[in-house]
């Protein structure tokens, strides 16, 4: 592993044309996007701030993701918020499968584990603009 600016290079492969480097931030973004594609996932969690779970938007996909990456293997920890009414074990299993598939397909790394941490439940918001009955 090398330092390239602020980002750690997690995988470097030498080819006949040169080297290919993948930063750990790239793996985190891939995992975060794959997780949010699963139906029932409201968003990624930035952790607990003052007792309140912070839900992150699409701009911060990598913030709710931790990765440990070796030369050929990766382990991923995800912190998510699920939609109310979904069956959490089913959503978590879909997240694990989707993240494993996406990271392996895009990086060539073997994903050895995907740990899903459900940090909260998002409740449906009632329409802010209610229609008036005339």
Report pLDDT for 110.
Answer: 95
**pTM as predicted:** 0.78
Give me the tens of pLDDT residue by residue for the chain, a chain 134 residues long: 444 444 566 567 777 888 878 889 999 999 999 999 999 999 888 765 444 555 555 556 678 899 998 888 999 999 999 999 999 999 999 999 999 999 999 999 999 999 999 999 999 875 444 434 44
CA separation for the pair 4, 49 (Å, rounded)? 31
CA separation for the pair 25, 9 (Å, rounded)? 9
- 91-108 burial code (b ≥16 CB/10 A, e <16): bbebbbebbbebbeeebe
Report pLDDT for 11.
Answer: 65
Report pLDDT for 20.
Answer: 79
CA separation for the pair 76, 44 (Å, rounded)? 14
- Domains in the chain, CATH or no CATH each: 24-122 (3.30.70.1350)
5 phi/psi in degrees, rounded to 5: 70, -125
């Amino acid at each position: 592993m090398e330092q390239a600016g602020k980002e750690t290079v997690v995988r470097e492969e030498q080819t006949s044309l040169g080297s290919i480097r993948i930063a750990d931030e790239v793996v985190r973004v891939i995992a975060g996007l794959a997780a949010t594609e699963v139906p029932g996932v409201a968003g990624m969690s930035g952790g607990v701030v003052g007792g309140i779970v912070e839900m992150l938007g699409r701009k911060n996909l990598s913030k709710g993701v931790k990765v440990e990456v070796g030369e050929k293997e990766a382990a991923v920890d995800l912190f998510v918020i699920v939609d109310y009414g979904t069956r959490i074990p089913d959503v978590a299993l879909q997240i694990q499968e989707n993240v494993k598939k996406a990271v392996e397909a895009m990086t060539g790394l073997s994903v050895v584990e995907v740990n899903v941490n459900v940090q909260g439940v998002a409740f449906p918001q009632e329409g802010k603009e209610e229609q008036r009955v005339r």
